[in-house]
Amino acid sequence: MLQVQRIRDHKEAFVKALKKRGMDATPVINQVLEADDNRRATQAKLDDLLAESNSLSKEIGILFKSGNAAGANALKEKTSTLKETSKALDDHLKSISKTLQDLLYTIPNIPQELVPSGQDENDNEQTLREGAIPVLEEGAMAHWELAKKYNIIDFELGVKITGAGFPVYKGKGARLQRALISYFLDKNTAACYTEYQVPHLVNEASGIATGQLPDKEGQMYHVGVDDLYLIPTAEVPVTNLFRGDLVQGADLPISCTSYTPCFRREAGSYGAHVRGLNRLHQFDKVEIVRIEHPDNSTKALEDMVEHVANILRALQLPFRILRLCGGDLSFAAAITYDFEVFSTAQDRWLEVSSVSNFETFQANRLKLRFKDTDGKNKLAHTLNGSAMALPRVLASILENYQTPQGIKIPEVLVPYCGFDMIN
């Protein structure tokens, strides 16, 4: 959510930047400013009325104490009419504030200068491409065939006990999953991210603060009896750890990493591109989250991008980095870099990580502030990224490392797996 004051100060620039998302923001911004004027005027009136009412109440108290009941009762008459007016104003204030907030909820974050304009993924800008695409032997298979051949992932078993999109990993497949999680967490903690283990269910307040609720309610699994939501990403519980906090400027940056399973209903997505591990209802992910001083968030984002790139280099997977265009940018992000690994057997790029700077957009909804050196409380910047999401990394390892003898394990993972070949 954007702050009204910033919209007021940078109206023209914001409208221009939002054009990159293909959005004409002028009407909604005008509505916001109008609603805000209305809100302020209403509050000023209400405050005056309440002040009068408060002082009358005090007088009444004094009159009663001094035994002047008649005088007190006369004043009571006055306050009752004040009360009616203030009640009406209060209702109006609440409704106008709600209107204002609902309007603000519809405005996405302002894309940064670097973000290219564009409609969809075809307009994304490649900023880096690295790693040789392996040449596979004749008869190379997609990962879902490899999984069956080596008996390491069982999709049918998942269907039996739960449903489609809930795979069962077994034997070396399960061990490789655990190896990847440990490897990613070790890389992240070595880069000074503090490891957290967090609940996999969150309450409504957390869902609202990070923006999953109310808009994307249908995307999350909801446990009705206890009114809790299964997390779609560790971003939700980890970011909410700091909800409502006022941290000391010296404590920044705060860097966290957390492994969690992620649960997504993915309602309405079917087709050839969602086969195998490409899109799941439950998958594992290691997330990195940073809370930064506004002056430092651009640098922090660069660090995170470099960090993720280094993990892919270590795994020796061919990858590219895309700077998302305005149209492909998620609602809350000011700038996002996607990492895609080339899956040779499927002959397509698979998104394995997405690293974003949300600036104050999330922090405003979270009420996450810090005390700056000038003593003022300001909204912090939040950033997050996957480092990494497991299924597509696993898929591309299986596909790119396949040989007629079996699937080679990337060197850095061998100590974590305890074997160097799946065959």
Partner RNA sequence: AGAGAGGUGGCCGAGUGGCUUAAGGCGCACGCUUGGAAAGCGUGUAUACGGUAACGUAUCGAGGGUUCGAAUCCCUUCCUCUCUGCCA
Instruction: CB nearer to RNA: give 50 or 141.
Output: 50
43 binds RNA (CB under 7 A): yes
Instruction: CB nearer to RNA: give 83 or 348.
Output: 83
Q: Give the HSE-up count for residue 88: Cα atoms under 13 Å, Cβ half-sphere.
A: 5
CB of 242 to RNA, least distance (A): 15
How many angstroms separate the first and last alpha carbons of the chain? 51
CB of 241 to RNA, least distance (A): 16
65 binds RNA (CB under 7 A): yes
CB of 219 to RNA, least distance (A): 24
Give the span between the Cα atoms of 165 and 155, in whole angstroms: 8
* Binding segment toward RNA, per CB under 7 A, in 16-24, 40-48, 322-330, 331-339: 40-48
Instruction: CB nearer to RNA: give 80 or 405.
Output: 80
* Binding segment toward RNA, per CB under 7 A, in 36-44, 127-135, 345-353, 383-391: 36-44
Which of 9, 13, 22, 58 touches RNA by CB under 7 A?
A: 58
∠ CA 241-94-25 to the nearest 5 degrees? 75
* Binding segment toward RNA, per CB under 7 A, in 57-65, 343-351, 384-392, 394-402: 57-65
* Binding segment toward RNA, per CB under 7 A, in 46-54, 140-148, 163-171, 277-285: 46-54
Instruction: CB nearer to RNA: give 71 or 116.
Output: 71
**Binding residues for RNA restricted to 244-263, rule: CB under 7 A:** 246
56 binds RNA (CB under 7 A): yes
Mark 341-380 with x for binding to RNA (rule: CB under 7 A) and - for no binding.
----------------------------x-------x---
* Binding segment toward RNA, per CB under 7 A, in 60-68, 181-189, 250-258, 392-400: 60-68
CB of 107 to RNA, least distance (A): 17
Size of the site for RNA (CB under 7 A): 25
* Tokens, residue 38: 């209305």
**Binding residues for RNA restricted to 76-115, rule: CB under 7 A:** 76, 79-80, 83
Which of 9, 22, 24, 51 touches RNA by CB under 7 A?
A: 51
Give the span between the Cα atoms of 6 and 379, in whole angstroms: 12
The residues binding RNA (CB under 7 A) are 40, 43-44, 46-48, 50-51, 53-58, 60-61, 64-65, 76, 79-80, 83, 246, 369, 377
